C-alpha cells in the first residue's frame, strides 16, 4: 500500500459540477481487512484509487466487529442500536425502518439500476433482500470479479455493491496480522480481483459519459484468528472514496495525552498495562490452583479500562466457548457494557451477567467467590451484585495455571490496567470483601493465611518475572505487558476520520438522492459532488435565490423566487458534507425562512428538491 500524505483535519468544500456525466457508484466491500495489513500489502489497484481519493487507514467500526452488524452499518448507514443486528443470524433486525442504501435509492427513483454480487450470501439474503434489480450469491471471490465484469459489459447499473470474502477466511484460518504471509497474499489476490472489476468499468462504451465514485471499505479488522471485540486491531478499518480527478487526501487519527484518574486506593507510580494485543502474565500451573470438582476459592482483581469487549481479564481457560473447563472474568458478549464471570466444566457452563458498567476509565475492584456446592457470588467495589448456582459444575482444572490479560491461547485480549490480583483458598465473607476492596493487603486480613497467590502488579521492573508476595512463591512470567505511569494516558482521537456508516450517505450524495432528516442516519457524506445529468434535472431556469447572501451569523435568511412553490424540501449541508437538517415547504411562493441561528460561520450547500425529482443546489455563506 503506497502512503500518499497525511492531513490532520480535512475540510472538504463542496463542489457542484454542472455537466452531462451520469453519476455512478461502485461499492467494494473486502471482508476482514486490517488497515496495517492493507498498507503492508502490494496492492497497485487500490493504490491507484487512493491516488485520486479521500483515504483513511484510521476509519472505524466502533460498534460490533462482527460481519452481520458490520455490513448492516456499511449498507444501511446506521449502527446496531438502530438496525438491531448483533450477530450473523440477523434475528430481530430492523431493516424496515433502516433499510439498505439500495432500497433508499430505489424508493426515491425506481429507474435507478441497482446490483449486488456477494461471496458471503447473508448480505444479499437479509440486508439487500428483494430490493436490488439484480442480486447474485457466488462461491468464490474470483466469481465476484467475473460476474461483476460481465454484468458491467452489457448492463447499465447506477449502483453496484460487491463483496469479497477470502481475506476474512485467511484471517480466521491463520491469523489477522500483517506478519502472516497467507493473510497478506490473500489481500494482494483480492486487489487483483478489484483490478479486474475496475478494468471492466473503464472498458464500458459509455465510460467517458459517466462519473464513477468508487467506495471501498471493510467490515472489521481482527486479532489472532478472530474478531468481535472492540480492540484497536478489530475496530480500525480503512475507507476509500475515489473519483477521477479528485485531489488525494489522507485522514489519520491524532494522538494526545490525557490526564488519567489516579487510583484513589493505592499510592502507586506505575502499574501493569495490557495493550489489547494478546500480551499476558502467566502464573505456572500448581496444585494450589487445582480447584477440581469441589474446591472452594475466591478471585479478586483491580481494573481500569475503557474497553468492554469480549475479553479474558483474569482466568484459567480457553475462552473460545464458556463450556470449556475453567473460569474467566470478562464482559457480556459482544461489547458489554456489564462485566461478567463464567465457569465451565467442558459440558456445562454458568454465567453471571450482573456486573456493573466498569469500562469508564476509573479503577474498580472485582471480587468473585466460588462455593462449589452452592453459589458463585459477584462483588464490585465491595458491593454484592448477584449470585448463580454452580453446584452442577464439575471439574474445572485446565493445566494452564492462572492467566492475566488474555486466555490460554493468548486470544480475547484485555486492554487496560490490572493490579491487586488475589487468589484465596475458600470463600471470603461479604464483610471481608467490603472491608478490603480498597486497602493494601496486610496480615491483619482475617483470611490472610488462606492466600494462594498475591500479585500487586505495582512495582515496575524490567525483569519478566513478577513476584508473588503471598509467600507461596507462585511467581508469574510477563509476556508483553508493560508498566505505565498513572499521571497520563495516550489517547487516540478519531473524530476527523470516517466511520462505516458514512459509505451509503456518501453514495447517495453522489447520486443526488435527497437525504431526509427523518431517516435518522448516523453517517455523513465525505464528498459534496452531486452531479446533475440533464438540463431538466439541473433546473437551470429556476427563479429561486438566497437573500441575503452572504449573511451574518444569526441573520434571517430566506429563499425567494417565482418557482419556490415547486420546492417540497430543502436539505442543508455543511462544507464537509455533513447533513444538518431538512426544511419542508408548503408549496406557496411566500419566502421560506431558514433558521441559521445555531450555525457557525462557513459555507453551506442548500439542496432543493421538487416533487417530480428535480433538484437545484444553491450556496449560502455565513460570516
- Topology, domain 259-491: Jelly Rolls (2.60.120)
Q: Which residues contact 211 (CB under 8 A, 6 or more apart)?
A: 17, 19, 21, 22, 23, 24, 243, 244, 510, 531
pLDDT for the residue numbered 463: 81
Cβ atoms within 10 A of the Cβ of 232, count?
17
The answer to whether 49 touches 240, Cβ cutoff 8 Å, is yes
Mean pLDDT for 427-433 is: 97
Task: Please indicate whether the domains covering 17-253+494-519 and 534-622 agree at the CATH topology level.
Answer: no
Question: Over 70: is that where the pLDDT of 3 sits?
Answer: no
Q: What is the 3-state composition of the chain as percent helix, strand, coil, each rounded to the nearest 5?
A: 20, 30, 50
Q: Residues of the chain with pLDDT > 70: what percent?
A: 91
The pLDDT score that the predictor gives to residue 4 is 33
pLDDT band of residue 484 (cuts 50, 70, 90) is confident
What pLDDT, on the 0 to 100 scale, is given for residue 607?
83
Euclidean distance between CA atoms 366 and 353, whole angstroms: 13
| pLDDT for residue 246 is more than 60 | yes
Asked if 488 contacts 259 with a C-beta cutoff of 8 angstroms, the reply is: yes
In this predicted structure, the answer to whether residue 257 has a pLDDT above a threshold of 70 is no
Against a cut of 0.75, is the pTM above it?
Answer: no
Starting at the edge strand that comes first in sequence, how are the strands of the sheet with 314-315 ordered? 349-352, 339-344, 326-331, 314-315, 402-404, 280-283, 476-479, 465-466
With bands split at pLDDT 50, 70 and 90, how would you rate the model's confidence at 578? low
- Partners of 299 in beta bridges: 368, 423
Contact predicate 50/4, CB 8 Å: yes
Binning pLDDT at 50, 70 and 90, where does residue 282 land? very high
- The count of C-alpha atoms lying within 13 angstroms of the C-alpha of 448, restricted to the half-sphere facing its C-beta, is 11
| Statement: residue 259 has pLDDT above 60 | no
Mean pLDDT of the region 451-478? 89
Higher pLDDT, 163 or 554: 163
Topology of domain 534-622, CATH? Immunoglobulin-like (2.60.40)
Q: What is the mean pLDDT of residues 133-138?
A: 98
Architecture of domain 17-253+494-519: 3-Layer(aba) Sandwich (3.40)
> Residue 299 in contact with residue 422, Cβ under 8 Å?
yes
Residue that wins the pLDDT comparison between 139 and 618:
139
Instruction: Give the residue among 154, 400, 128 at the shortest CA–CA distance from 281.
Output: 400
Residue with cell 500518499: 4
Average confidence score pLDDT of the chain? 89
**Region at 410 (left for phi over 0; alpha for psi -120 to 50; beta for the rest):** left
Backbone CA torsion sign across 388, 391, 393, 399: positive
Highest mean pLDDT among 25-29, 489-493, 535-539: 25-29
- pLDDT (tens digit, 9 = 90+) per residue, 300-330? 999 999 888 889 999 999 999 999 999 999 9
Q: How confident is the model over 17-31, as a mean pLDDT?
A: 80
The predicted-structure confidence for 356-372, as pLDDT tens digits, reads as follows: 889 888 899 999 999 99
What's the whole-number mean pLDDT along residues 169-195? 97
Q: List the single range of 14-28, 184-198, 374-388 with lowest mean pLDDT.
A: 14-28
Which of 249-263, 517-531, 537-551, 576-590 has the weakest average pLDDT?
Answer: 249-263
How does residue 260 score in pLDDT terms, banded at 50, 70 and 90?
Answer: low
- Mean pLDDT is highest, among 250-264, 265-279, 568-582, for 265-279
| Residue 459: other Cβ atoms inside 10 A | 13
C-alpha cell at 296: 472452594
Band the pLDDT of 77: cuts 50, 70, 90. very high
Show me where the domains of the chain are located.
17-253+494-519, 259-491, 534-622
pLDDT score of 541: 79
Whether residue 17 has pLDDT greater than 60? no
Average pLDDT over residues 433-454: 95
Instruction: Provide mean pLDDT across the span 203-222.
Output: 96
Confidence of residue 536 (pLDDT cuts 50, 70, 90): very low
Amino acid at each position: 500500500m503506497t502512503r500518499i500524505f497525511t492531513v490532520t483535519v480535512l475540510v472538504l468544500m463542496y463542489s457542484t459540477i454542472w455537466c452531462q456525466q451520469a453519476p455512478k457508484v461502485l461499492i467494494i466491500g473486502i471482508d476482514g481487512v486490517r488497515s496495517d495489513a492493507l498498507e503492508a500489502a502490494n496492492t497497485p489497484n487500490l493504490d491507484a484509487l487512493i491516488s485520486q481519493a479521500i483515504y483513511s487507514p484510521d476509519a472505524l467500526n466502533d460498534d460490533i466487529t462482527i460481519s452481520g452488524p458490520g455490513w448492516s452499518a456499511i449498507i444501511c448507514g446506521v449502527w446496531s442500536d438502530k438496525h438491531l443486528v448483533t450477530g450473523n443470524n440477523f434475528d430481530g433486525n430492523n431493516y424496515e425502518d433502516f433499510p439498505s442504501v439500495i432500497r433508499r435509492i430505489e424508493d426515491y427513483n425506481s429507474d435507478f439500476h441497482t446490483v449486488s454480487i456477494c461471496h458471503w450470501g447473508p448480505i444479499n439474503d437479509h440486508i439487500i433482500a428483494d430490493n436490488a434489480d439484480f442480486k447474485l450469491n457466488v462461491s468464490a471471490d474470483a466469481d465476484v470479479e467475473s460476474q461483476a465484469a460481465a454484468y458491467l459489459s452489457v448492463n447499465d447499473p447506477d449502483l453496484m455493491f460487491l463483496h469479497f470474502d477470502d481475506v476474512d477466511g485467511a484471517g480466521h484460518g491463520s491469523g489477522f496480522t500483517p506478519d502472516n504471509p497467507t493473510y497478506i497474499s490473500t489481500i494482494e489476490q483480492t486487489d487483483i480481483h478489484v483490478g479486474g472489476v475496475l478494468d471492466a468499468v473503464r472498458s464500458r462504451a459509455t465510460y467517458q459519459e459517466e462519473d464513477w465514485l468508487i467506495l471501498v471499505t471493510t467490515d472489521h479488522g481482527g486479532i489472532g484468528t478472530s474478531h468481535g471485540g472492540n480492540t484497536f486491531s478489530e475496530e480500525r478499518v480503512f475507507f476509500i472514496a475515489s473519483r477521477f480527478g479528485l485531489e488525494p487526501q489522507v485522514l489519520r487519527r491524532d494522538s494526545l495525552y490525557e490526564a488519567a484518574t489516579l487510583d484513589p486506593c493505592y499510592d502507586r507510580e506505575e502499574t501493569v498495562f495490557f495493550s489489547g494485543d494478546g500480551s499476558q502474565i502467566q502464573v505456572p500451573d500448581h496444585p494450589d490452583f487445582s480447584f477440581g470438582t469441589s474446591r472452594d476459592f475466591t478471585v479478586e482483581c483491580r481494573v481500569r479500562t475503557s474497553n468492554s469487549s469480549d475479553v479474558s481479564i483474569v482466568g484459567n481457560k480457553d475462552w473460545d466457548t464458556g463450556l470449556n473447563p475453567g473460569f474467566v472474568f470478562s464482559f457480556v458478549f459482544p461489547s458489554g457494557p456489564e462485566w461478567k464471570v463464567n465457569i465451565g466444566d467442558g459440558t456445562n457452563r454458568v454465567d453471571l451477567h450482573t456486573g456493573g458498567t466498569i469500562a469508564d476509565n476509573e479503577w474498580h475492584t472485582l471480587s468473585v467467590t466460588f462455593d462449589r456446592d452452592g453459589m458463585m457470588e459477584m462483588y464490585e467495589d465491595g458491593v454484592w451484585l448477584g449470585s448463580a448456582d454452580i453446584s452442577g459444575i464439575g471439574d474445572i482444572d485446565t493445566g494452564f495455571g492462572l492467566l492475566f490479560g488474555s486466555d490460554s491461547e493468548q486470544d480475547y485480549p484485555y486492554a487496560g490496567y490490572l493490579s491487586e490480583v488475589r487468589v484465596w483458598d475458600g470463600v471470603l465473607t461479604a464483610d471481608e470483601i467490603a472491608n478490603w476492596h480498597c486497602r493494601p493487603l496486610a496480615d491483619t486480613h482475617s483470611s490472610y493465611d488462606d492466600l494462594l497467590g498475591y500479585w500487586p502488579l505495582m512495582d515496575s521492573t524490567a525483569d519478566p518475572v513478577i513476584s508473588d508476595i503471598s509467600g507461596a512463591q507462585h511467581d508469574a512470567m510477563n509476556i508483553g505487558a508493560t508498566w505505565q505511569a498513572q499521571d497520563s494516558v495516550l489517547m487516540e482521537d478519531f473524530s476527523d476520520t470516517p466511520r462505516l456508516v458514512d459509505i451509503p450517505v456518501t453514495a447517495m450524495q453522489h447520486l443526488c438522492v435527497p437525504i431526509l432528516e427523518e431517516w435518522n442516519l448516523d453517517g455523513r457524506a465525505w464528498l459534496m459532488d452531486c452531479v446533475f445529468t440533464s438540463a431538466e434535472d439541473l433546473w437551470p431556469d429556476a427563479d429561486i435565490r438566497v437573500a441575503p447572501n452572504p449573511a451574518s451569523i444569526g441573520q434571517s435568511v430566506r429563499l425567494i423566487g417565482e418557482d419556490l412553490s415547486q420546492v417540497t424540501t430543502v436539505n442543508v449541508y455543511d462544507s464537509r458534507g455533513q447533513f444538518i437538517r431538512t426544511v419542508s415547504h408548503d408549496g406557496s411562493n411566500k419566502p421560506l425562512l431558514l433558521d441559521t441561528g445555531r450555525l457557525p460561520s462557513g459555507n453551506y450547500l442548500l439542496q432543493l428538491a421538487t416533487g417530480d425529482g428535480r433538484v437545484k443546489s444553491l450556496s449560502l455563506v455565513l460570516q
